[in-house]
Structure 1
């Protein structure tokens, strides 16, 4: 995780705390990290000073909602770029009809 955080401009714990779980995890996803719920909530628990497996019940369900929103936001951004690329390729005749 350390090298992944550094790669996306999060060089230390202070920066991670300042950003918070959602913004930090979104940076990781936008950099190509494959989404996975466990690392997401591990970050949240660490920032609270809690054990990684301390997340349960409604709190875990609420975190899952936040995680899914981040994934959707990142996916929407990727789809926009893909759609623009495909439109350009279609305009120059690369995509067969």
Structure 2
């Protein structure tokens, strides 16, 4: 099993975030895909950031992170906005997000 950092654009910090949500190998990330992996990050308290989202897409395609441009970038922005709307709880406090990030059971509403 290959380390996540063997994938272009995945550095130690991003690797740590992925491992924290249960994605431990490059193969697991490739099998899961960019959208499902990013949704898992959002569900576990990662604050949405469009650049991080498209970097993940570029990484899984073996492309430089800044290769995303034009219509492709616009299409990914629409997908990002939809993921954010359906997987990120904006009403969750920063404390709840932090507790969720370290593995404490997600607070119920």
Sort the TM-score into its range (normalised by shorter chain): 0.7 to 0.9
**Which ranges in structure 1 are unaligned for 5 or more consecutive residues?**
86-97
* Segments of 4+ moved more than 6 angstroms: 76-79
* Post-superposition offset of 1:77: 9.4
TM-score by length of 1: 0.77
Residue 91 (structure 2) pairs with residue 59 (structure 1): no
Question: How far off is 1:76 after superposition?
Answer: 6.4
Relative contact order higher in (CA < 8 Å, ≥ 6 apart):
2
- Superposition CA RMSD, Å: 2.2
Residues 44, 5 of structure 1: alpha-carbon distance in 2 compared, 3 angstrom cutoff:
same
**1:1-97 to 2 correspondences below 5 Å:** 1-75=14-88, 85=109
Q: Which has the higher helix share?
A: 1
Query: How many residues are paired up?
Result: 83
